[in-house]
Amino acid sequence: MAITRDVFQFVLIVSITSLLVSCGVLQDKRSLSPHAVKLSDSVYVKKVLYSQFNDWRGVRYQYGGVSRLGIDCSGFVYVTFKTKLGIDLPRTTAMQVKLGEEISQSELRPGDLIFFRTTFLSGHVGIFVEKNKFLHVSEKKGVTLSSLNDSYWKSNYWKSVRI
Cβ 159 vs Cβ 102: under 8 Å: yes
Out of 107-121, 131-145, 146-160, which region has the weakest mean confidence (pLDDT)?
Answer: 107-121
Domain with 47, as residue range(s), is 34-162
User: Does a structural domain hold residue 117?
Assistant: yes
User: Does a structural domain hold residue 20?
Assistant: no
Q: What is the pLDDT of residue 120?
A: 74
3-state secondary structure 56-111: HCCCCECCCCEECCEECHHHHHHHHHHHHHCCCCCCCHHHHCCCCEEECHHHCCCC
User: Does a structural domain hold residue 94?
Assistant: yes
Q: What is the pLDDT of residue 122?
A: 79
User: Does a structural domain hold residue 115?
Assistant: yes
User: Does a structural domain hold residue 114?
Assistant: yes
User: Does a structural domain hold residue 28?
Assistant: no
pLDDT band at 25 (very low <50, low <70, confident <90, very high): very low
User: Does a structural domain hold residue 26?
Assistant: no
Cα 97 to Cα 114: distance, rounded to the nearest angstrom: 9
Identify the CA nearest to 136 among candidates 152, 20, 121, 120.
152
Cα 87 to Cα 155: distance, rounded to the nearest angstrom: 30
Q: What is the pLDDT of residue 2?
A: 58
- Is 59's pLDDT higher than 70? yes
DSSP β-ladder status, 133-138 and 142-147: antiparallel
Q: What is residue 4's DSSP assignment? A: P
Q: 10 Å Cβ neighbour count for 28?
A: 9
Catalytic residue (choose from 136, 142, 143, 146)? 136
pLDDT band at 4 (very low <50, low <70, confident <90, very high): low
Tell me if residue 73 is catalytic. yes
Q: What is the pLDDT of residue 112?
A: 98
User: Does a structural domain hold residue 88?
Assistant: yes
Catalytic residue (choose from 124, 128, 135, 160)? 124
Catalytic residue (choose from 71, 73, 108, 137)? 73
Question: Residue 101 belongs to a domain with what CATH number?
Answer: 3.90.1720.10
More confident position, 121 or 141: 141
pTM over 0.75: yes
- Is 21's pLDDT higher than 80? no
| Number of domains within the chain | 1
- Is 31's pLDDT higher than 60? no
